[in-house]
Chains A and B, each alone.
Chain A
Amino acid sequence: MPSIEFLGVSKSFVRHSRGRQLLRAHLTALVRPAPKDRFYALRNISFKISHGENVAIVGANGAGKSTLLSLLAGLAAPDEGSIQVSGRIAALLELGSGFHPDLTGRENLFLNASLLGLSKKRAERIFDKVVEFSEIGDFIDEPLRTYSSGMMLRLGFSIAVNVDPDFLIVDELLAVGDQSFQVKCFGKIAELKRNGKSLVCVSHSPVVVQQLCERTLWLDHGELMVDGKTEDVLKMYGQAVFQSANVSISS
C-alpha cells in the first residue's frame, strides 16, 4: 500500500550569510574552522500518511512547510530521522518548475512528464487528456513565456494530476487559477481520492483546506504543534494567530 512515513525527522541548513559558497570561505575554513551556524527548519517531526488520505499543512511563513514538502518529494535529505515513501509522487512546488520559457507548451509537457517519471508511451497517451483538462487549446504550440501565470498553473496542474500519482503534493498553487479552474481541480482531487490517491498540500486559505483535506498538520517554527482533524486544528491555529496578532497590536 502506498504510504508516507516520517520518523523523528529533523532538517537544518547552514546559514549562508558570510558567503560560504566562495572559494575564499572554504579556504579560510581550512585554516581557521568556524563553528557552523545552523538553523533548524524542522525538528523531530513524525507522522504517517496513508493512501486515500488528504492532508493539509498550515503554519506561518518560515514555519518549515515548504521544507517539509521538499523532504516528502525526495528533493532534500533529512539530517536525522527516516522518511519512508512507497508509491509515485508528483510534486508541484512552484509555479512553472521544470518548465522552460522558450519551449512551447507541447515541448514542456513532454519534458515535464519525463521528469515526473513517465515513459514516452505514457506521455503520448496522456497528452490529449492534459490539453483538454487544461483548456489551453491552441496555445499548446506557443512558447511558454507567452503564457499567463494562470495558464502556466493549468498546464502544470493538468500534467501532475494526469501522471496518476499516489501522492499529489501541492504548495500553495491554486491561488493563481480562476474560479472555474479551481472547481475543476477540486473535482479532480476528489476523483483521485475516490481511487485511493492522496493530496498533501500547503495552503493559507482555510476554505481550501477545509474543502479538500480531512486532516491537518500545524507547523510552528519547525515543530509539529498539532496533527488532527482539519476542523479542530484550524480552530486552534486560528486562535493562536489571532492571539499573537492581538499581543503585537496592543504592545
Chain B
Amino acid sequence: MWSGSYPFVLSNLVMKDFKVRYRNMSLGVLWSMLNPLVMMGVLTFIFTKVFPNPSIPNFPLYVLCGLVAFNFFSIAWVTATTSLVDNANLVKRVAVPRQLLPIAAVFSNCIHLIVQIVLLLTLVVAFGRGVNVHWLWLPVIWSLEVVFVCGLGLMFSAMDVYVRDMRYVVESCNTILFWLVPIFYFVVPERFYGLYQYNPVTALVIASRYILLDGKAPPNTLLYKLMLVSFLMLVLGVLVFGKLKKRLYDHL
C-alpha cells in the first residue's frame, strides 16, 4: 500500500534525529569524541596507575577499541528500543513502514560511530601503528555490528510498545555487558574464550584489536561467529517485528 522510497525516508529520518539533537548544542559533534576520550583517560589512569596491568601494551588504544564498539552498541540499542514509543505520533498518524523507525535510530547513531572511528584511527596512527592491508576488514566487521544492532532494535522496539519496561531491561543488559565485553581487561580464561566470541560486540572488539594493534587479520572462526550471530539476530528481529507490528497502533 505504501509505495514510497525507503532510502529517501530513511535519510530524512536520520537527518531529523541528527539535526534535532545538535541544533541546540554548541559543541555539536565534539560531544561524540569527548565521551570516549574521557572514558579512555579514566580507565587508563585506573589500570596503569591504580591497578597496574603490564600485560597490555598501549593501554589507551586497547581501551578505546573496546569503548568505540561498546558505546555505539549500547546507545544504538537503547534508542532503537524506544524509537516506536518516542515516535508514537508517526506510528499512529502516518502510514510509513514502521520498521524504518528503529532502523533509522540505529543509522543516526552510525554518524557518531563514524566520528569515533575516525578518532580511533587517528590515535592508532599517532601512536605509531601504521596503516596495513588488514584495515580492509574494518568496514566489514563494523557493518556486521550494525546488522546485529538492527536485528536487536527491531525486536526490542516492537516489544517496548507492548511492555514499556523494555528500555530498563535493555539498560540493565548494557550495564552487565560493559563488564562481559573485554573492554579494559585482557581476555579471559581459555574455557570461556570460545563462548565469549559468540557475543558480536566482543567479537568486534577482539577483531578490531587484531587489525589495529597487532596488524594481523582476525582469525576466521572469530569472523564466522560474528557473521553468524549478527545475521541470525537480524532474521530473528525481522520475524518478531513482523509478528508484533499488526497491533502496534492499538498499544500506543
Contacts and interface: CB of A to CB of B under 8 A. Distances in A.
B92 A70 contact: yes
Contacts of A93: 93
B103 to A, nearest CB: 14
Nearest to A13: B250
Contact of A22 (B5, B19, B164): B164
A160 B115 CA distance: 37
B16 A100 contact: yes
Nearest to A163: B4
Contacts of A245: none
B90 A98 contact: yes
Given A94-B89, A97-B89, A110-B12, A22 B163 contact: yes
B27 interface: no
Interface in B90-126: 90-96
A91 B94 contact: yes
B191 interface: no
Contacts of A123: 8
Contacts of B249: 70, 75-77
A22 B250 contact: no
A119 B250 contact: no
Interface in B151-166: 162-165
Interface residues of A, number: 34
B68 to A, nearest CB: 28
Contacts of A102: 19-20, 23-24
A18 interface: no
B138 to A, nearest CB: 30
A114 B12 contact: yes
Interface string A23-58: 100100000000000000000000000000000000
B1 interface: yes
A76 B249 CA distance: 6
Given A13-B250, A21-B251, A114 B5 contact: yes
A40 to B, nearest CB: 13
B16 A114 contact: no
A117 B2 contact: yes
A29 B16 CA distance: 39
Contacts of A118: 4-5, 8
A172 interface: no
A56 to B, nearest CB: 20
B5 A111 contact: no
A116 B96 CA distance: 7
Contacts of A70: 92, 249
Interface of B: 1-5, 8-9, 12-13, 15-16, 19-20, 23-24, 89-96, 162-165, 246-247, 249-251
11 contacts: A74-B1, A91-B93, A97-B89, A100-B20, A102-B23, A103-B19, A111-B16, A115-B90, A117-B4, A118-B5, A120-B5
